Amino acid sequence: MAAIIQGIGAATALTSPNSLDIKKSFLSISPRSLSVRKGSSFVVSSDGRLSYGLNGRGGRAEHFITNAVAAKEDTAAASTSSKPGHELLLFEALREGLEEEMDRDPTVCVMGEDVGHYGGSYKVTKGLAPKYGDLRVLDTPIAENSFTGMGIGAAMTGLRPVVEGMNMGFLLLAFNQISNNCGMLHYTSGGQFKIPIVIRGPGGVGRQLGAEHSQRLESYFQSIPGIQMVACSTPYNAKGLMKAAIRSDNPVILFEHVLLYNLKERIQDEEYVLNLEEAEMVRPGEHVTILTYSRMRYHVMQAAKTLVNKGYDPEVIDIRSLKPFDLYTIGKSVKKTHRVLIVEECMRTGGIGASLTAAITENFHDYLDAPIVCLSSQDVPTPYAGTLENWTVVQPPQIVTAVEQLCQ
């Protein structure tokens, strides 16, 4: 099937940006998926600043900070409006990175359900179809196994496809293609084939999306040989990781959190590409190393404010690279603080935290003054009920308690 789109690169030059008669207006992201629960509001910016308010009823939010995600209205934006660069929401940063790479390299193409004229379920590909044409932005049937396999075949023939899963949970239908072909063909072909493919899409616990649409598939894919995995958490690293993943000759899975798409940040105008295997130092500290990624970065930064007020000095690292781990950055921190707390949204059994715990124990055991603590989501299907959904995910007060116990 890869032969179907083998001529994408050549066809691009013949496709006029105005050759498609497409509606200029696109449907926006569902208001329901971005709304804040009645009775509470919460805004967090990419640097961890937050504010929240409650109505007069009860004090549950003092124990649970629900909806710890970004909102379009960011009060910090006004103070940074005069700074150089430009402001983008996270989904816009992903689009900008993808568009820059499509401009730079005619072999880059996109495929997936509704990625074309609809612009993607979260508008990451909005506007790309009229610009690049239907061959480079290919709408596919609802057949994840088929179009993922087609993308892998296209990568074998020299293209650089970006395959979007409308929801990461749907990519379980393509697990055979990802594991037996995507990760192994470079090895099983004796190096004759490279598989420069990016597989990306939204995942994580949303806002009452139900169990099937709240999957965290990091733990599913981490054991596949030959696959790299990264998770974005800010507009800046979303764009940089997208560009790096497209340029990589290895298959890369880019995990995006469904509740972070509207996170706003000012990023530089100049082009940049991040290292796919490098962690980010979010907050330097001395007392304990907190390792996290994706949405949990904001839960951790919220907890860090409370910890600082209590006299603790946590060091926060966004590991970003889920496979392989950046053991240099992690090890340097462990040797300084001698205590490690891992905070993840992935399941506890067989999750990223379990693998990270094993890696730290094997490499830096002699530097630890206390056992590694890992806070993970509970091993249950994510409930639809909002209250129960919050109980299954790590909350900031749990992080504060864990650090207090670690530092005793």
Q: CA-CA distance, 403 to 408, in Å (whole number)?
A: 9
What string of DSSP letters covers 259-315? TSTT-EEEE-SS-----TT--EEEE--SSEEEEE-TTHHHHHHHHHHHHHHTT--EE
Please identify which of the residues 101, 186, 213, 345 carries the catalytic annotation. 213
Please identify which of the residues 144, 280, 315, 345 carries the catalytic annotation. 144
CA angle 205, 160, 292 (to 5 degrees): 30
CA-based nearest residue to 302, from 343, 264, 265? 343
What string of DSSP letters covers 49-86? -EEEEE-SS--GGGT-----S--S--THHHHTTTSSSE
Q: CA-CA distance, 304 to 328, in Å (whole number)?
A: 23
Q: Given the DSSP bridges, would you call strands 264-267 and 86-89 parallel, antiparallel or unpaired?
A: antiparallel
Q: Are 41 and 53 in contact (CB under 8 A)?
A: yes
144 is catalytic: yes
How many angstroms separate the Cα of 258 from the Cα of each of 166, 294, 339, 382, 404? 11, 10, 31, 15, 31
213 is catalytic: yes
Q: Are 58 and 228 in contact (CB under 8 A)?
A: no
Structure tokens that stand for 60 in this block: 């549950």
Q: Note the maximum CA span of the chain.
A: 67
In 3-state terms, what secondary structure has residue 227?
coil
Residue type, 333: S
Half-sphere exposure of 368 (CA within 13 A, CB side): 18
Structure tokens that stand for 211 in this block: 């169990």
For 265, phi then psi, to 5°, come to -155, 150
Sign for the CA dihedral angle at 181, 247, 259, 292 comes to positive
What string of DSSP letters covers 352-379? HHHHHHHHHHHHHGGG-SS--EEEEE-S
* Active site amino acids: 144, 213
